[in-house]
Amino acid sequence: MALITKAVKGTLDVLPADSHKNQFVEKTVLEIANEFGFREIRTPVFEHTELFTRSVGDTTDVVQKEMYTFEDKGGRSITLRPEGTAGAARAFLEHGLTNEAMPQKVSYITSCYRYEKPQAGRLREFHQFGVECYGTASPAADAEVISVANEVFGFLGIDRIRLEINSIGCPKCRKEYHAALKAYFESRKGELCGTCLDRLDRNPMRILDCKSPVCHEIAADAPIILDFLCDECKEHFEKVKMYLDNMGIVYDVNPHIVRGLDYYTRTVFEFLTDSLGAQSAVCAGGRYDGLIEEIGGSHVPALGFGMGIERLLLLLEAQGIQLPEAKKCEIYIANIGEEASLKAASMATELRQSGMFAEFDVVGRSLKAQMKYADKIGARFTTVIGEDDIKANIAKVKNMQTGEITELAIDDFADTFMELSLQNAASDLQDLVSNSEAIDLSKFLGGIM
CA dist., res. 269 & res. 253, Å (int):
9
Q: What is the mean pLDDT of residues 42-51?
A: 96
SS3 at position 402: coil
Instruction: Band the pLDDT of 418: cuts 50, 70, 90.
Output: very high
Instruction: Band the pLDDT of 279: cuts 50, 70, 90.
Output: low
Checking if the pLDDT of 443 tops 70, the result is: no
Paired sense of beta strands 46-48 and 39-40, if any: unpaired
Q: What is the mean pLDDT of the chain?
A: 90
Q: What is the predicted pLDDT for the residue at 60?
A: 74
- Is 3.30.70.100 the CATH classification of the domain at 331-448? no
Q: Cα–chain-centroid distance for residue 48?
A: 24
- Backbone phi and psi for residue 74, each to the nearest 5 degrees, phi listed first: -95, 5
Checking if the pLDDT of 449 tops 60, the result is: no
CA dist., res. 295 & res. 197, Å (int):
27
Instruction: Band the pLDDT of 261: cuts 50, 70, 90.
Output: low
- Percent of the chain topping pLDDT 90: 73
Q: What is the predicted pLDDT for the residue at 446?
A: 45
More confident residue, 7 or 429: 7
Q: What is the predicted pLDDT for the residue at 442?
A: 47
**DSSP 8-state symbol, 120:** T
Sequence-distant (≥ 6) Cβ neighbours of residue 230 within 8 angstroms? 169, 170, 172, 173
Instruction: Band the pLDDT of 437: cuts 50, 70, 90.
Output: very low
Checking if the pLDDT of 177 tops 80, the result is: yes
- Backbone phi and psi for residue 411, each to the nearest 5 degrees, phi listed first: -65, -25
Checking if the pLDDT of 57 tops 80, the result is: no
Q: What is the mean pLDDT of residues 349-365?
A: 96
Asked if the bond preceding 324 is cis, omega within 30° of 0, the reply is: no
331-335 sheet: strands from edge to edge: 358-360, 331-335, 381-385, 394-399, 405-409
Checking if the pLDDT of 435 tops 60, the result is: no
Q: 426-429 contacts: CB < 8 A, separation 24 or more?
A: none
Q: Cα–chain-centroid distance for residue 120?
A: 16
Q: 131, 38 in Cβ contact below 8 A?
A: yes
CA dist., res. 332 & res. 377, Å (int):
9
Q: Ramachandran region of residue 269, left (φ > 0), alpha (ψ -120 to 50) or beta?
A: beta
Q: What is the predicted pLDDT for the residue at 430?
A: 60
Q: 382, 334 in Cβ contact below 8 A?
A: yes
Instruction: Band the pLDDT of 174: cuts 50, 70, 90.
Output: confident
**DSSP 8-state symbol, 278:** T
**Per-residue pLDDT tens digits for 230-239:** 999 999 999 9
Q: 415, 408 in Cβ contact below 8 A?
A: no
Sequence-distant (≥ 6) Cβ neighbours of residue 121 within 8 angstroms? 276, 277, 279, 308, 310, 311, 314
Candidate from 72-76, 162-166, 172-176, 384-388 with smallest mean pLDDT: 172-176
Q: Do domains 19-170+230-318 and 331-448 have the same CATH topology?
A: no
Q: What is the predicted pLDDT for the residue at 423?
A: 86
Checking if the pLDDT of 440 tops 70, the result is: no
pTM of this prediction? Answer: 0.87
Report the CATH architecture of 19-170+230-318: 2-Layer Sandwich (3.30)
Q: What is the predicted pLDDT for the residue at 431?
A: 55
Q: What is the mean pLDDT of residues 120-125?
A: 86
Checking if the pLDDT of 385 tops 50, the result is: yes
CA dist., res. 76 & res. 199, Å (int):
27
CB atoms within 10 A of CB 243: 18
**Could you tell me which residues are beta bridge partners of residue 332?**
359, 382
Q: What is the mean pLDDT of residues 99-119?
A: 93
**Could you tell me which residues are beta bridge partners of residue 287?**
265, 303
**Per-residue pLDDT tens digits for 138-154:** 999 999 999 999 999 99
Checking if the pLDDT of 427 tops 50, the result is: yes
CB atoms within 10 A of CB 445: 13
Instruction: Band the pLDDT of 428: cuts 50, 70, 90.
Output: low
CA dist., res. 13 & res. 249, Å (int):
36
Instruction: Band the pLDDT of 49: cuts 50, 70, 90.
Output: very high
Checking if the pLDDT of 439 tops 50, the result is: no
Q: 368, 414 in Cβ contact below 8 A?
A: no
Instruction: Band the pLDDT of 219: cuts 50, 70, 90.
Output: confident
Sequence-distant (≥ 6) Cβ neighbours of residue 255 within 8 angstroms? 166, 224, 225, 226
Q: Cα separations (Å) of 359 from 16, 29, 289?
A: 17, 31, 53
Q: 389-398 contacts: CB < 8 A, separation 24 or more?
A: 389/340, 390/339, 390/340, 390/343, 395/347, 397/331
Q: What are the extents of the domains in the chain? A: 19-170+230-318, 331-448
Q: What is the predicted pLDDT for the residue at 260?
A: 60
Considering only CA atoms, which of 84, 1, 12 is closest in space to residue 43? Answer: 84
CA dist., res. 96 & res. 439, Å (int):
49
More confident residue, 246 or 175: 246
Q: What is the predicted pLDDT for the residue at 364?
A: 94
Q: For 97-119, give the DSSP string.
A: GGGSSSSEEEEEEEEEE-----B
Q: Cα separations (Å) of 384 from 185, 227, 350, 351, 405?
A: 78, 77, 17, 16, 12
Q: 376, 328 in Cβ contact below 8 A?
A: no
Checking if the pLDDT of 121 tops 80, the result is: no
